[in-house]
């Protein structure tokens, strides 16, 4: 785990020219954000005017709270050998990519995405965003939830609009029950992220580092080319959402799901048989964590990426789901 977290995604100056790369570390601004120089956006644009023509159109930000109805359906869950090979190539493209193939942990995580298998799900609903600090605090105030284990007085983790972290699987399950829901199954989470068209990322098949709050497989895992060095307020990347409007399924906080983590003796994560509304294995060591975090690179932003979680962490949060009757 330490080897994977110690470094994540390396993007050279050519890869993030829009960030105004100068070879020097950018200045960190308010709220942990590194400002992008505006001059890069001025190039080639006509002179600014003092006013703009009103066209009678108003852009409204969609509400972030609430759940999105998922129609269910059949899809191929997990990764094929080709998809695992592509994930390894993504890992190897990063600053410390030479360590990807020699890391037993990375090899095990990728192997646990296999085999690809057909899954059919009934309709369900899933939270648009990760559960926020403010929402979780309401449960704590009601006496139904226990407070996060750390970070309750640290602005890096306790701002109301940030995803709540430092909660273990049991605390996440308790909150979802209090909120008239439950943790999503791993299959429900993956269908929300990939859709029946089996997208590689929530937004599509091409990785874009500006569409999620990611990290880097590098000596410094806090890659701020997306605008954030740590957690971001939920819903900060509207263009990185799914076609149905589910947000933050890649990066920001990684997320607990309902299933236990229990690979086969060969290291595979699933049974190859087709499944209907799977709930995961009855036993395991810890539970599955999905979605990658602000400290993880491109390979962990994929909709099929999964790893084991065993306790509260600064980078792991959750969202809830619910049955549709």
pLDDT for position 64: 81
pLDDT in tens, 168-226: 999 999 999 999 999 999 999 999 999 999 999 999 999 999 999 999 999 999 999 99
pLDDT tens-digit readout, 7-64: 433 333 333 333 333 333 444 444 454 444 434 443 454 554 443 444 444 445 667 8
Q: Is 258 helix (H, G, I), strand (E, B) or coil?
A: strand
Q: Which residues have CB under 8 Å from 128's CB, separation 6+?
A: 62, 63, 64, 65, 66, 67, 68, 235, 245, 246, 247
C-alpha separations of 205 from 141, 197, 201, 202, 240 in Å: 42, 10, 6, 8, 12
Contact by Cβ (8 Å): 297, 91: yes
- pLDDT tens digits for 83-126? 999 999 999 999 999 999 999 999 999 999 999 999 999 999 99
Query: What are the extents of the domains in the chain?
Result: 2-11+68-323
CATH code at 2-11+68-323? 3.90.1580.10
Give per-residue pLDDT as tens, 177-188.
999 999 999 999
Q: Whats the size of the chain, residue-wise?
A: 325
- Starting at the edge strand found earlier in the chain, the sheet holding 117-121 runs 73-77, 117-121, 275-276
| Residue 165 pLDDT greater than 50, yes or no | yes
Question: 235 and 249 in contact (C-beta within 8 Å)?
Answer: no
């Amino acid at each position: 785990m330490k080897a994977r977290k110690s470094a994540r995604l390396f993007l050279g100056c050519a890869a993030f020219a829009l960030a105004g790369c100068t070879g020097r570390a950018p200045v960190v601004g308010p709220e942990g954000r590194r400002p992008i120089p505006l001059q890069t956006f001025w190039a080639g644009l006509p002179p600014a005017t003092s006013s703009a023509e009103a066209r009678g159109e108003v852009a409204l930000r969609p509400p972030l709270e609430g759940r999105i109805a998922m129609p269910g359906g059949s899809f191929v869950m997990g990764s094929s050998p080709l998809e695992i090979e592509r994930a390894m190539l993504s890992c190897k493209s990063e600053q410390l990519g030479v360590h990807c193939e020699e890391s037993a942990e990375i090899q095990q995580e990728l192997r646990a995405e296999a085999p690809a298998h057909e899954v059919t799900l009934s309709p369900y609903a899933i939270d648009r965003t990760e559960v926020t600090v403010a929402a979780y605090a309401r449960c704590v105030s009601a006496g139904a939830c226990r407070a996060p284990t750390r970070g309750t007085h640290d602005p890096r983790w306790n701002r109301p609009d940030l995803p709540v972290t430092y909660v273990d699987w049991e605390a996440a399950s308790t909150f979802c029950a209090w909120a008239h829901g439950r943790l999503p199954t791993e299959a429900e989470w993956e269908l929300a992220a990939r859709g029946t068209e089996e997208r590689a990322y929530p937004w599509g098949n091409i990785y874009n580092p500006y569409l999620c709050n990611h990290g880097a497989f590098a000596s410094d895992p806090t890659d701020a080319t997306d605008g954030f060095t740590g957690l971001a307020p939920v819903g900060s990347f509207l263009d990185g959402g799914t076609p149905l409007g589910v947000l933050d399924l890649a990066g920001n906080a990684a997320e607990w799901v309902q299933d236990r983590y229990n690979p086969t003796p060969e290291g595979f994560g699933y049974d190859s048989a087709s499944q209907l509304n799977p709930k995961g294995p009855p036993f395991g060591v810890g539970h599955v964590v999905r979605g990658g975090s602000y400290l993880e690179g491109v390979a962990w932003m994929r909709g099929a990426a999964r790893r084991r979680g065993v306790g509260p962490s600064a980078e792991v949060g959750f969202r809830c789901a619910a049955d549709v009757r």
